[in-house]
Amino acid sequence: MAGSRDSDDVLQPAAGGGLLHRRALLSQGLILATATAAAPAFAGEPAVSQSADPLDPHPASLTTPGAPFSPYGQPSQHERRIMRAVGSNADVPGNGVSWTPLEALEGIITPSGLHFERHHNGVPAIDPRQHRLMIHGLVRQPLTFSLEALQRYPMQSRLLFLECGGNSNAGWHAEPIQRPVGSFHGLVSCSEWSGVPLAMLLDEAGVDPQAQWAVVEGADAGALNVSVPLAKLREDCLVALYQNGERLRPEQGYPMRLIVPGWEGILNVKWLRRLHLTAEPAMSRDETAKYTELQPDGTARQFTYVMEAKSVITSPSAMQRLKDKGFYEIKGLAWSGRGRVARVEVSADGGKSWTDAQLQDPVLPRCFTRFRAAWNWSGEPAILKSRATDETGYVQPERETLVAERGRRGYFHYNAIVAWAVADDGTVSHVYA
């Protein structure tokens, strides 16, 4: 096993349940041993067909010319099973979601084709030459901007997470849902978004001092609209034209979308076509009937914009199975709509004891942060948890605390600590613990 080749002090426990000191991850020999030992350990991985003998010194790839160039690269055929899980309305196929398969991904960037989707009535077909963004209402001069015009403005790029306000809503259920982590918590993704700072366009239109909001509208079926506070729009919002270096995908708002860093997904209006500057919010359906949270006292929280600090262990996670006891890297994602992740702690004994996970650089504001921790599984049942703290000092709450405060009818903004139970046979399941 990995541990036998390194000094014993690295393998001193850091907390209960087999959590090891962070230095275990820094030991070169151990990292290599871990990566190779952990990779095949999960049952159900796709079988990669190689030559019959893995030690064949002359595999066919060495002596056969390879495939020609491709105009647009695709994932390996062996990775075809890595895809978004789709949940939609049988009567309205374009009304629903698709989840990012968080369990299958590494690092902090979500491939654009695996970015989660939430559409209210499908992905519209838009001719970029005909598309216009209109800014009107409480402005000196109503304006329209073509895509060609926007391309000429100075742009900014930001690495940002984007999370649906309804992400993780199964956490409110009375019983813990059993699904892969991506199909439970995967209405969050992380991309580099590039585009024109909205403040520049607002200044060009000349915003009236009475304006406090903009009613933002998309060009999709039903013309989804929500009100966004003007101060936020001026502070750091972008009219994004690019995602991860290429033009937006159709399902991400092509040719332009609003990016509202750290705030709930619904405000990041896709297929952006209109900003109506106003003194008051419109009280549209998606800021009154929906995207509000009913509380136990019968009132509802409204305009809950900030996605609070959250973390989840992506491996090991529900529906996976550990094949052998021994060394594993616990890894996951943390993020906060208020800024940087300051700390992620992990526990292997259900929260009785905790140790700090290693935060992988870069740690950026309102962006995914990848965390890692070393774990020696004894083969006994264990309960894994992660707990994020952001730079404002906000600490991700236990589920019990969140439910005590908000009840179970709020649907949106579930950010409690997630617990994965590892059984003695290595199966991993979702538990409330």
Partner 1 sequence: MSMRRLVLALAVVLAPSAYAADPLRLGKPVPADVVAAWDTTVFPDGRGLPQGGGTAEQGRAIYDAKCSNCHGPEGRGETAEELVGREIPLTDPDTAQTIGSFWPYATTLFDYTRRAMPMDKPGSLSVDEAYAVAAYLLQLNGVVAPGDVMNAQSLPKVQMPNRDGFKRIDAK
- Contacts to partner 1 by CB under 8 A: 89-92, 95, 120-121, 134-137, 141-146, 149-150, 152-154, 200-201, 203-205, 215, 217, 221-225, 229, 274, 276, 278, 280-285, 288-289, 292, 294, 296-306, 407-409
Q: Would you call 369 helix, strand, or coil by DSSP?
A: strand
Site of tokens 């409204």: 302
Least Å distance, CB 418 to partner 1, is 23
Tell me which residue of 426, 306, 431, 319 sits closest to 377, measured CA to CA.
Answer: 426
Q: How far apart are alpha carbons 259 and 267 in whole angstroms?
A: 8
Which H or E element spans position 373? strand 369-377
**Residue 33 φ then ψ, to 5°:** -60, -40
CB of 329 to partner 1, least distance (A): 36
Q: Which is nearer to partner 1, 109 or 200 (CB)?
A: 200
Closest C-alpha to 228, from 175, 178, 266, 186: 266
Residues paired with 196 in a beta bridge: 239
- In the complex, the smallest distance separating the C-beta of residue 202 from partner 1, rounded to whole angstroms, is 10
- Of the pair 153, 432, the CB lying nearest partner 1 is at 153
* Residue 86 three-state SS: strand
**Residue 258 in tokens:** 């609003």
**Shortest Å, Cβ 28 to partner 1:** 45
C-beta closer to partner 1: residue 82 or 221: 221
For partner 1, give the closer residue by CB, 31 or 306.
306
Complex with partner 1: residue 114 or 216, whichever CB lies closer: 216
The nearest distance, CB 162 to partner 1, in angstroms, is 17
d(CA 430, CA 433): 9
* C-beta of residue 363 within 8 angstroms of C-beta of residue 341: yes
The nearest distance, CB 176 to partner 1, in angstroms, is 18
Whichever of 65 and 154 has its CB closer to partner 1, that residue is 154
**Residue with Cβ nearer partner 1 (126 or 201):** 201
Distance set, CA 170 to CA 56, 386, 410 (Å): 48, 18, 11
Rounded Cα gap, residues 49 and 213, in angstroms: 56
Least distance to partner 1, CB of residue 135, Å: 7
